[in-house]
Amino acid sequence: MGRRGEAPGRRAVDARLRDRGLDSLTQQRFAERSDPAMTLTPRTRQALAIVQIDHTLVDIMVVDEVLRESMGRPWITAAFDIATRVVLGFALRLDPPSATSVGLALTMACLSKDEWLKERHLDIEWAAAGVPKLIHVDNGKEFHSLALRRGCERYGISLEYRPPGRPQFGAHIERYLGTLMRRIHGLPGTTYSNPIDWGKYRSEARATMTMTELERWMALEIAGRYHQRVHRGVHAIPAQLWAKSVRRKPPPPVTDPARFVIDFLPADSRRVGRNGFQINRIRYWDPILSRLFPPSARILVRHDPRDLSRVFVPSPTNAEYLAIPYADLRRPPITLAELERARTQLSAKGHAQPSEDLIFATTEAQRRIERESARRSRRARRNLARQPLRAKAPAPPVPEPVVNYNQRVIPYSGEVW
């Protein structure tokens, strides 16, 4: 009932029906399974039985770490458990949604977050983790990637795509992302959700949060606030609902977290030669390749678009991954986005097949331009923020004590002749 005994409004009734998996009072709770196009919002009471993954552009401007100048809006990819309404994990990135975004969010969803929270100095509990049985996604190309399909096959995860024209398939996570954006609207630098609310608010001038700070805020918002409050869709606290669900049937832990992360990185098939193999015109080589693989063998190579300085090749027995570095170890780490920008620039100058030397020289020149124009250009600041972390400089050698040749030398007993 509404306030002072008034009848609830139409929107309130519609929202309550959607929470019950209904489109109207006359529609059946579940449609025939033989017609997927008529299936209603997915329902389950078992944790990790159905997990939805989706993206949205975050309604806030972020600033860079050095100049504290605006870099624009980031994207968030989130994994959401249908039964308990907990957020299993998320990935916050400046790049548009991709197979990498999906892999990072799924990795965080499946693995323990204790170390992740510790690295960010967050004293909160976020227990939700585990490998889902089924993942619901839309038909974006990032959800059709070889990396996601192979990773899901390895861990026994089923992939299910929303039927076209049935947006209610993603209702749970879309509703949560809408709730998260409403909370974002209270932060400095918000862009709100529409131009009317935005009005004359100067988002870029008011922006104060870096990507790191926004990531920490989101973790606190999700695990410290949202998980601890009653969810009106299930009339329970998500954290408690999760604990109750996994108490009956605990999810098996991931035995090899490091391998799990690599299993969801983008993948390409390559043929191994005497000089290794090429990806994006960069050559990779290690002497172990010729010892383990016969000449011209085809292998699946996984790479991290955030750092191309090494790629990962499964061993012949598939028991482990081998890290294969650049053939030329003098090359600096670069990102896939930097490499593609360099190739685009070289192609415009007539270099249809630029050499590796030319690609790295162009990337370094672009970095110099971006460093010089970072204060003036938002794009330059975004590109700088995407660069891989520089390798730590080697520690300076410890100086040896100066020998005083005027001092009398006392021999060891074994040195007396």
Least confident range of 310-324, 337-351, 399-413: 399-413
Rounded mean pLDDT, 28-41:
44
pLDDT for 170 equals: 67
Q: Of 255, 278, 297, which marks where a domain is finished?
A: 255
pLDDT band at 26 (very low <50, low <70, confident <90, very high): very low
Residues 3 and 69 in one domain: no
CB-based contact 53:105 (threshold 8 Å): yes
With b for 16 or more beta-carbon neighbours within 10 A and e for fewer, the 148-183 pattern comes to beebbeeeebeeeebeeeeebbbbbbbbbbeebbeb
Helix (H) or strand (E) holding 79: strand 75-81
Q: Are residues 86 and 155 in the same domain?
A: yes
**Domain limits at 157?**
39-255
User: Looking at 4-8, 29-33, 276-280, 399-403, which range is the least confident one?
Assistant: 29-33
**302 and 350 share one domain:** no
Handedness of CA 360, 363, 367, 369 (dihedral sign): positive
In a domain, 190, yes or no: yes
Residue 120 lies in a domain: yes
256 within 8 A of 267, measured Cβ to Cβ: no
Any idea what the CATH number is for the domain that residue 98 is in? 3.30.420.10
Min mean pLDDT across 299-308, 313-322, 367-376 is at 367-376
Residue 303 lies in a domain: yes
Q: Which H/E stretch holds residue 269?
A: strand 267-271
Q: Do 251 and 352 have their domain in common?
A: no
Of residues 38 and 360, the one with the higher pLDDT is: 360
Q: Band of the pLDDT at 398, cuts 50, 70, 90? A: very low
62 compared with 197, residue with greater pLDDT: 62
- Give the pLDDT confidence of 132-190 residue by residue, as tens digits: 999 999 988 999 999 999 999 999 999 999 876 565 566 889 999 999 999 998 888 88
392 lies in some domain: no
Residue 261 lies in a domain: no
pLDDT band of 195, cuts 50, 70, 90: low
Q: Are residues 178 and 311 both part of a single domain?
A: no
The residue count for the chain = 417
Categorize the per-residue pLDDT at 43 as very low, low, confident or very high, splitting at 50, 70 and 90.
confident
Same structural domain for residues 206 and 346?
no
- 83 and 127 assigned to the same domain: yes
Identify whether residues 114 and 8 lie together within a single domain: no
Question: What stretch of H or E contains 117?
Answer: helix 114-119
Least confident of 332-336, 375-379, 384-388, 413-417: 413-417
Q: Given 210, 229, 255, which residue is the final one in a domain?
A: 255
318/365 same-domain check: no
Higher pLDDT, 71 or 417: 71
Mean pLDDT of the chain: 84
pLDDT at 402 over 80: no
Can you give the pLDDT at residue 76?
97
Q: Name the pLDDT band for 397 (thresholds 50, 70, 90).
A: very low
pLDDT value of residue 40? 56
Residue 11, pLDDT above cutoff 70: no
Strands of 82-165 (E only): list them.
87-93, 134-137, 158-161
Is pLDDT of 214 > 90? yes
Domain count, the chain: 4
pLDDT at residue 258 above 50? yes
Asked if residues 211 and 94 have their Cβ atoms less than 8 Å apart, the reply is yes
First-to-last alpha carbon distance for the chain, in angstroms, is 106
Shared domain check, 242 and 376 = no
Cα separation, 252 vs 156, whole angstroms = 12
Do 24 and 74 sit in the same domain of this protein?
no
Distance (Å, whole) CA 214 – CA 60: 9
Q: Answer yes or no: is 408 within a domain.
A: no
* pLDDT over 80 at 404, yes or no: no
Q: Which residues contact 271 (CB under 8 A, 6 or more apart)?
A: 277, 296, 297, 298, 299
In a domain, 118, yes or no: yes
Q: Is residue 401 part of a domain?
A: no
Q: 2 and 116: one domain?
A: no
Q: Do 59 and 191 contact (CB within 8 A), yes or no?
A: yes
